[in-house]
Amino acid sequence: MQLTFLGTGGGLPSPQRGVSAIALQIGRDVLLFDCGEGTQRQFMLSPVSFMKVSSIFISHFHGDHFLGLPGLIQSMNFSGRDSALDIYGPRGMIELAATVATLGDFTPSFPIRAGEMQGGDAVDFGPYTVTALESEHTIPSLSFVIEEKPRRGRFLIDRAKELGVPEGPMFSRLQSGNAVTVKGKTIEPSMVLGPPRKGRKVVISGDTRPTQAIIEAATGAEVLVHEATMDHSLQEGAREYGHSTAREAAEVAKAAGVGLLILTHISNRYDDASILEKEAQETFPHTVVATDLMSLPVRMGGKGPPGVNLPGGPGPR
């Protein structure tokens, strides 16, 4: 599981930041959360291919979160895509997807399937789910909880050998959840596997005020990506426009007990966002401000910011 921040600015792009777009790689899948203008170019600068995006989740219909859809879809088309693209968002997503996919005389050569979500709705991808959560913004808006399903326990090699299971194909069968027979005795997977392991969880807030619902949804998450549009001296403005300050995001992370807080949706008033990082770290030390093209793995139970991988892309640190 790998997070790549394609755009980390809020409202308007700046020389340092594009607008909202986050790619999450889970196995072979690439999910895109929000798609601000210029997202396809940001993909080209990143280690992630936009051709591998299977599903897009739009948090709400402010331009800096969805206006990149027409360009991304056309770039996919010009690059020869033929596999279907699924796009999810709040009410109105179906109509909007039909509009942006066919602007001008353009017709995509691949299927585009749109779905609408409200709080509590989930998309099941097999090994993991994406669940929508109602956020608190100036228009209907969603947060997203990405959570792996519990995984099988670790394979106990010594226990398998004690039961007479020979190394090789039988080990693989047991690890895959299938029983094997050794000298007439059936060995069940439960006999050689440890307890089930909790899956990883990532929460992406979208644009929102801090809410109890996000705290509850993010409880125990490895990573919380929370907007921090302003510093706390501008708290009244943040409240008026349905945004959070860095301190408020940190308070959410602390209450939820997350492993790492990543701040994003940074106002273009900040040429240097270190003020936001320092403000949040006073409340929740395991905080980092996202920069465009920042990429990091999501590790089980991992803390941060140690281990954050910052490739040589643009953006101050």
Catalytically active residues, by annotation:
64
Q: CA-based Rg of the chain, rounded to a whole angstrom?
A: 21
Residue 190: partners with Cβ closer than 8 Å, 6 or more residues away: none
Instruction: Check whether the bond before 111 is cis (ω within 30° of 0).
Output: no
Q: Which phi and psi angles does 60 have, rounded to 5°?
A: -170, 175
Angle at 10 between CA 8 and CA 13, to 5 degrees: 75
Q: Which residue matches tokens 């803390």?
A: 303
Question: What separation in angstroms does the CA of 123 have from each of 26, 36, 81, 171, 244?
Answer: 14, 22, 23, 33, 27
Look at strands 85-89 and 29-33 and give their pairing.
unpaired
Please state the separation of Cα 309 from the chain's center in Å. 16
Instruction: Please state, in angstroms and rounded to a whole number, the distance separating the CA atoms of residues 132 and 134.
Output: 7
The number of CA neighbours under 13 Å toward the Cβ of 252 is 31
Angle at 100 between CA 98 and CA 101, to 5 degrees: 65
* Strands (E) located in 164-228: 180-182, 185-187, 201-204, 223-227
Length of the chain: 317
Please, where are the H alpha helices in the chain?
39-45, 63-66, 69-78, 93-100, 157-162, 169-175, 212-218, 235-240, 246-256, 274-281
Residue 219: partners with Cβ closer than 8 Å, 6 or more residues away: 256, 257
